[in-house]
């Protein structure tokens, strides 16, 4: 028997806000997911992104509390190029999302930015920078 990586699960405070945020990023949550206590979007390669409301988690773990010391989770989204990092960051911030780190040319060779989802989880936006001479 071998365990396989199958899904990423996030606990969300507001299902509708989280589904709307991730739909803007291209995640295909089914219609009506924003009204459910559990929602899933299939990812490339058969993985899933799963959301459960705080109430759902408390239904089987009554003592559960959201972390109070900041986010420890981030999802990284590869963009088609540096210009897409900038455009997507501006689009998300323009719709009211918190921009944690404005786009910049990181020393590790990427155009890189961070926005926060409705629960404060980091969403990294990145694209490789063109190598010298390209």
Q: Mean pLDDT: which of 41-55, 68-82, 118-132 is highest? A: 41-55
What is the arithmetic mean of pLDDT over 126-133?
A: 80
The structure tokens 């989204």 sit at: 77
User: Who contacts 56 (Cβ-Cβ below 8 Å, separation ≥6)?
Assistant: 37, 38
Question: What is the CA 114 to chain-centroid distance, rounded?
Answer: 10
How does pLDDT run across 54-101, given as a tens digit for each residue? 999 999 999 999 888 766 788 999 999 999 999 999 999 999 999 999
Q: Is the pLDDT of residue 21 over 60?
A: yes
Distance CA 50, CA 122 (A): 16
SS3 of 19-54: HHHHHHCCCCCCCCHHHCCEEEEECHHHCEEEEEEH
Beta strand residue intervals within the chain, DSSP E: 7-12, 38-42, 48-53, 74-78, 98-105, 110-116, 122-128
Q: Is the per-residue pLDDT at 133 higher than 90?
A: no
Average pLDDT in the 1-17 region?
A: 90
pLDDT at 105 over 80: yes
pLDDT > 70: percent of the chain: 95
Largest CA distance in the chain: 58
- Checking if the pLDDT of 122 tops 70, the result is yes
Share of the chain above pLDDT 90, in %: 80
Main-chain dihedrals φ then ψ at residue 88, nearest 5 degrees: -70, -40
């Amino acid at each position: 028997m071998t365990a396989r990586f199958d899904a990423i699960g996030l606990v969300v405070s507001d299902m509708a806000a989280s589904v709307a945020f991730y739909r803007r990023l291209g995640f295909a949550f089914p219609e009506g997911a924003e009204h459910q206590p559990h929602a899933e979007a299939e990812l490339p390669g058969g993985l899933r992104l799963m959301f459960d409301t705080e109430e759902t988690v408390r239904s089987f773990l009554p003592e559960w509390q959201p972390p109070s010391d900041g986010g420890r989770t981030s999802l990284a989204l590869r963009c088609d190029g540096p210009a897409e990092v900038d455009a997507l960051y501006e689009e998300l911030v323009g719709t009211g999302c918190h921009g944690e780190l404005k786009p910049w040319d990181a020393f590790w060779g990427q155009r890189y930015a961070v926005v926060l989802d409705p629960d404060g989880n980091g969403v990294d936006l990145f694209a490789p920078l063109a190598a010298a001479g390209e």
